[in-house]
Amino acid sequence: MLPISFEFYPPKTDEQREQLDRTARKLKAHAPQFMSVTFGAGGSTLSHTPETVQRLHSEHGVTGVPHLTCVGGSRQEIRDLLKLYRALGCDRIVALRGDLPSGMARSGDLRYANELVQLIRDEHGDHFQIEVAAYPEIHPQAEDAHKDLRNFKTKVDAGANGAITQYFYNTDAYFRFVDDVRALGIDIPIVPGIMPISNFSQLRRFSEACGAEIPRWISQRMRALGDDVEGVREFAADLVATLCQRLITGGAPALHFYTLNLAKPTQAILQRLR
């Protein structure tokens, strides 16, 4: 089995903390490389992310990796967070541009992820392993595919060590993206992001927002299953496990699961792979 990692969003309430603890306890049995914690748009979870990273380490004994974004933060706020993460023992960061929340006028002192990567390198040298985002199906705001690739290269040139992709359900998109970046001389690991399917209506909304394509045949199969909850669950797990197996066979270096703080959908996939 390839190395795997899991992504969580930081809980804000006691109920959400209990949910995350239950999920972390179940998923750490799969020996992940790390568990990453997202960063709220506009700094809305400025304290929640480091708290969750620390909790994953102290309560669950796993490596917590914080996401850090440009959105809404000054250079000094970002510097302070980096110092905090280093003090917490973090040696890995997921560096992202982040999405500007609705109604927010400014993006912060940094505009693009390559600027964030450069700041991390300038301030901390090689202390942090830096992961950046990659978009096999092209970033939804990119002018075209070629410019999207060039933008990705700026992040690598700034000092990124690896990349985690947006989720997708078409393996050809991933393998073509890897071929394209290799042709540019980029040799960092490109880890596919995997989205288990737990709520198809929610997935459709996510996909419309982030530009991930759901193949028509998947939508049609889901529609045909209708209210058959068990049928949907089995189809979704089989579908994503098959996707993962193709990625493994094709040479993907690892798998990164977007858990949405739920254990069962990811566990169902991993059980099929094992």
- Each domain of the chain, given as residue ranges in start order, spans 4-273
What does the pLDDT read at residue 59? Answer: 93
CATH of 4-273 among 3.20.20.220, 3.30.360.10, 2.40.160.40, 3.30.70.1140: 3.20.20.220
Residue 48, CB-side half-sphere exposure with 13 Å CA sphere:
19
What confidence score (pLDDT) does residue 132 get?
Answer: 98
Does residue 84 surpass a pLDDT of 70?
yes
- The confidence band for 41, taking pLDDT boundaries of 50, 70 and 90, is low
At residue 81, does pLDDT exceed 70? Answer: yes
Mean pLDDT score across all residues of the chain: 91
- What mean pLDDT comes out for the span 137-141? 85
Q: Is the pLDDT of residue 205 over 80?
A: yes
pLDDT the model gives residue 46 = 60
At residue 103, does pLDDT exceed 50?
A: no
Give the distance from CA 218 to its chain's centroid. Answer: 22
Q: Could you tell me how far CA 153 lies from the centroid of its own chain? A: 19
Contact partners, residue 264, CB within 8 Å, separation at least 6: 198
pLDDT band at 40 (very low <50, low <70, confident <90, very high): low
pLDDT of residue 247: 98
Cα distances (angstroms) measured from residue 41 to each of 107, 155, 244, 269: 10, 20, 29, 29
Specify the higher pLDDT residue, 262 or 1: 262
* pLDDT tens per residue, range 142-175: 888 889 999 999 999 999 999 999 999 999 999 9
Please tell me the predicted confidence (pLDDT) of residue 105.
45
More confident residue, 35 or 98: 35
Known active-site residue 7: yes
What pLDDT was estimated at residue 144? 83
Most confident of 11-20, 92-101, 135-144: 11-20
Binned at pLDDT 50, 70 and 90, residue 43 comes out as: very low
Spatial distance between the Cα atoms of 119 and 89, rounded to a whole number of angstroms: 19
Mean pLDDT over 57-86 rounds to 91
Q: Which of 7, 115, 131, 137 is catalytic?
A: 7
Give me the count of residues in the chain.
274
On the question of pLDDT at 100 being above 60, the answer is: no
